[in-house]
């Protein structure tokens, strides 16, 4: 198995991406195709080439975070994102991981790989739980701003299938995000979707509310891409806020106990403890409904997050998720 | 000035509500009308009657959190919420504070007090910032699920006016919650609202994203009641999650330093430090656009939160917010 990794994407590219890819090659024994400037990559990872199954694929262009997604993929055919997605299209790699411009990755996936035949709408799914034991897979996290009820039903199917394939959860609980738990609560889209979801074979538990997200009430949280994007970014914003507060608090604690802090570090290092809960360290977002295994890692991913995203890419490829979605669609 | 307080509403009623009301009477020197079962109130607060300007108003019924809002206010005319709102209608009190069923308070406000003439839609506004120095007033936080662009523009006006009246901010920054900062991002409602807001005299800074909420990018965050409710409850859910985690972490730290923790409490008591950041302790939600000063405190309010909600009610009444909204509407 070979995973293509966008070495030019993300705030900490190329160094943290390369580090994460090397770690993944060591830990998972998987082949890695690093996509980016060969010259830079050689300096960073050249010494690993003989020891690990790592190759370089040249891509001379980079898509910046502020570029218009569709324009960028059209005008930069030699960008790491377009080159990486093309490798996937040509069957040269099994999955593509990028911490770059998520809109551009989505657009490249749509245009180059195409959506799975019969799929109403591809979507972005990602975990937003802070507690690793309470999975919360949000779908759609931002791809489809305007949705119809049948789109949300399809997101529920893809999310449920993904959770069962990747996490082995037999019948994931599916919740529909709304402003109240009762079936009558919600906007028109939610009320109609609630009705449709009841008539599926999914383990639909009904409407859920914002405070249910972190409670583990449902493993699959279905919503439109407008609301999903706002929820995802709200959670991220609070999280960043807390991380910096915790860092401060940790420094205060450390200062107070300067003498003994070294030996008691495990109990006082709240900063590292909170970092363990960072949902962005685990895996990444998945493009579901397109012909290929594409994982979007967070823009601020460092080595561990990249390594974990590659791990998720491996699991997604091993389980042939796009093929399963195709079968689900034909049912 | 007299503030009516719903002594039967909230998870910690009546005791914490009564305690908060007594504190408010002591601290702010304001008259309090406690609405609830006279018998219970006499046991709890009887000894303060001679010392403080507190009176009891009998209300024999209670509206539970699971009741249907409109049905409840229609079938329970002697409930603390209906009695309290009626006191306001009759001009016997200057404001009403309740930690009870927020939907029922909103419905009672709409039916009994009525909306301000010419106001397109009343809305619920509330602060959701975790950092007290970075105000984030969310409007609408849940009253109007289906909105038109002109409703959102009106929410922006009311929110801006509220911030300038209550916090003395001359020209509050108004942000429109969307899935991207560009004017072209958003669903139809947001795109049209963005266009309309540009043509107002408001200090409209454009679209903002989920991660801007806690950054203090805008003091007024405009959204429809569906999205607003989900955002509010998501923030609350994460917050509760963190509070319990912090409590745990705090216990671990305390355990590690059992010997010295008493003397060094200020630096290690992260639990109490996080509590200081609890946005629910400060003020409460306001019903804006109805003929009266109504503050909805959080269902889990304890004494300090109730006291602060009463403080906010006093400021709201002093600034004659409904009158100002009426004037704004006639501009």
Q: Which residue in the set A179, A185, A233 is minimally distant from B210, CB to CB?
A: A233
The rounded distance, in Å, linking the Cα atoms of B156 and B140 is 9
Residue A78 pLDDT greater than 50, yes or no? yes
> What size, in residues, is chain B?
331
Residue A26 pLDDT greater than 60, yes or no? yes
Q: CA neighbours within 13 Å on the CB side: how many for A251?
A: 5
Comparing C-alpha atoms, which of B159, B15, B19, B17 is closest to residue B98?
B17
Higher pLDDT, B16 or B244: B16
Tell me which of A66, A182, A192, A241 to substitute to probe the interface with B (most B C-beta atoms closer than 10 Å).
A241
CATH architecture classification, A126-279: 3-Layer(aba) Sandwich (3.40)
Domain boundaries B124-279, corresponding CATH code: 3.40.718.10
Residue of A nearest to B189 (CA): A146
Mutual angle of helices A188-198 and A149-167, in 10-degree steps = 50
Confidence of residue A307 (pLDDT cuts 50, 70, 90): very high
Domain locations in chain A as residue ranges: 1-119+289-331, 126-279
Tokens 């962005």 found at: A280
CB pairs under 8 A between A and B: 144
Three-class DSSP category at A293: coil
Residue pair B125/B162 in contact by the 8 Å Cβ criterion: yes
Tokens 């529909």 found at: A176
Supply B282's token pair.
Answer: 């400060």
Starting at the edge strand found earlier in the chain, the sheet holding B285-288 runs: B54-58, B31-36, B2-6, B95-98, B294-296, B285-288, B123-127, B137-139, B220-222, B173-177, B203-208
Task: Decide if A211 and B237 are in contact by the 8 Å CB cutoff.
Answer: yes
Residue A249 pLDDT greater than 90, yes or no? no
Confidence of residue A261 (pLDDT cuts 50, 70, 90): very low
User: If you classify domain A1-119+289-331 with CATH, what class do you get?
Assistant: alpha beta
Residue B183 pLDDT greater than 70, yes or no? yes
Confidence (pLDDT) at B118: 86
Tell me if B1-119+289-331 shares its fold with B124-279.
Answer: yes
pTM (global) more than 0.80: yes
CB of A251 within 8 Å of a chain B CB? The answer is no
Confidence of residue B256 (pLDDT cuts 50, 70, 90): low
Element (H, E) at A54: strand A54-58
Confidence (pLDDT) at B125: 95
Highest mean predicted confidence (pLDDT) among A84-93, A182-191, B9-18, B250-259: A84-93
Strands B123-127 and B203-208: unpaired
CB of A65 within 8 Å of a chain B CB? The answer is no
Task: Decide if B145 and A186 are in contact by the 8 Å CB cutoff.
Answer: yes
As beta bridge partners, residue B208 has: B177
Confidence of residue B322 (pLDDT cuts 50, 70, 90): confident
Confidence (pLDDT) at B199: 96
Confidence of residue B264 (pLDDT cuts 50, 70, 90): very low
The rounded distance, in Å, linking the Cα atoms of A10 and A299 is 4
Average pLDDT of A260-286? 55
DSSP conformation class of B120? S
Residue pair B301/B10 in contact by the 8 Å Cβ criterion: yes
């Amino acid at each position: 198995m070979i995973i293509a990794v966008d070495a030019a994407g993300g705030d900490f590219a190329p160094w943290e991406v390369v580090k994460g890819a090397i770690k993944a090659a060591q830990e998972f024994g998987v082949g890695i195709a690093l996509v980016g400037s060969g010259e830079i990559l050689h300096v960073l990872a050249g010494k690993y080439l003989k020891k690990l199954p790592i190759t370089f694929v040249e891509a001379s262009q980079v898509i910046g975070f502020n570029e218009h997604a569709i324009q960028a993929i059209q005008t930069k055919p030699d960008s790491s994102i377009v080159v990486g997605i093309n490798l996937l299209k040509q069957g040269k790699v099994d999955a593509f991981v990028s911490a770059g411009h998520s809109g551009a990755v989505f657009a490249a996936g749509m245009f180059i790989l195409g959506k799975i035949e019969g799929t109403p709408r591809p979507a972005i799914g990602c975990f937003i739980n802070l507690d690793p034991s309470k999975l919360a897979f949000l779908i759609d996290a931002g791809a489809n701003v305007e949705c119809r009820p049948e789109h949300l039903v399809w997101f529920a199917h893809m999310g449920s299938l993904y959770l069962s394939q990747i996490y082995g959860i037999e019948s994931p609980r599916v919740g529909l995000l709304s402003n109240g738990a009762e079936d009558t609560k919600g906007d028109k889209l939610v009320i109609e979707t609630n009705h449709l979801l009841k008539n599926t074979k999914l383990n639909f538990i009904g409407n859920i509310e914002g405070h249910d997200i972190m409670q583990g009430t449902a493993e699959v949280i279905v919503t439109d891409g407008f609301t999903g994007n706002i929820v995802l970014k709200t959670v991220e914003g609070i999280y960043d806020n807390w991380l910096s507060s915790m860092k401060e608090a940790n420094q205060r604690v450390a200062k107070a106990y300067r003498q003994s802090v070294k030996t008691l570090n495990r109990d006082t290092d709240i900063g590292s403890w909170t970092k363990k809960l960072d949902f962005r360290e685990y895996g990444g977002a998945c493009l579901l409904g397109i012909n290929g295994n594409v994982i979007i890692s967070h823009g601020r991913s460092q080595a561990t997050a990249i390594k974990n995203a590659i791990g998720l890419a491996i699991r997604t490829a091993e389980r042939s998720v796009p093929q399963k979605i195709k079968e689900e669609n034909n049912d």
